[in-house]
A and B are shown apart, each in its own frame.
Chain A
């Protein structure tokens, strides 16, 4: 059974928690959602139809937050930049994929692996096998990113991203 209030609450919960203004933002968007839903109910839509249309119009919580987090921190800047590379890439390839998701995933993975390497370096600092483990980790991380389902292009994009970060190979044609 569809419960409108629960659905709206859950949707609002989907808006990130880490931001200072987020609880105010949640309240504000909740009021907006209800206004929209009430208008749609008056047009004769069911609770569920009204809810899904209203949330669709407002956009995904994630996308909304992206809008907010622009220029907010390094992480989102990195995401935006990867996103740009991704969208450039997919335009060239005439190929649709969800850049926002992919860029977050790439950066999340990279950070995780970087953390794993750093911590193992600290742990194994004294050991003789130090470089062996590190090489192994690099290999695993590269494969894990490369094997990421549906994102086999990720490595190419990462290379492009790194080039962009370093300011080299600008506007080079597609490989």
Chain B
């Protein structure tokens, strides 16, 4: 089952930051990783990633640099910045908090 749009949008930043926390990466590879780690549950539209990456770069959560890939093509890589790391910790806390709240509420219906 595909996740609804608003959740996909809300989770994009922590997912990208998590991936870059594991190692520098580039657009196409980030999409592949998302697909792989979500077991196919989360399918990103290719075009949606780049505007988000550039926004994160503007916010200085990530930095970019160009390098020649094995294919000989120029490739834009992204790495996480210090600010991005702080943001990641914050976002993880938020998601955990929310999931905890949902857990706490489970099965507590009023009689």
Contact = CB atoms under 8 A, between A and B. Distances in A.
B52 to A, nearest CB: 10
Contact of B28 (A24, A32, A64): A32
Interface residues of B, number: 17
B51 A32 contact: no
Given A31-B28, A32-B27, A24 B48 contact: no
B75 A59 contact: no
Interface string B23-51: 00011100000000000000001111011
Interface of A: 21, 24-25, 27-32, 34-36, 38, 57-59, 63-64, 67-68
Judged by DSSP, the binding face of A is helix
Contact of B73 (A34, A57, A63): A34
A28 B27 CA distance: 8
B45 A59 contact: yes
A67 B73 contact: no
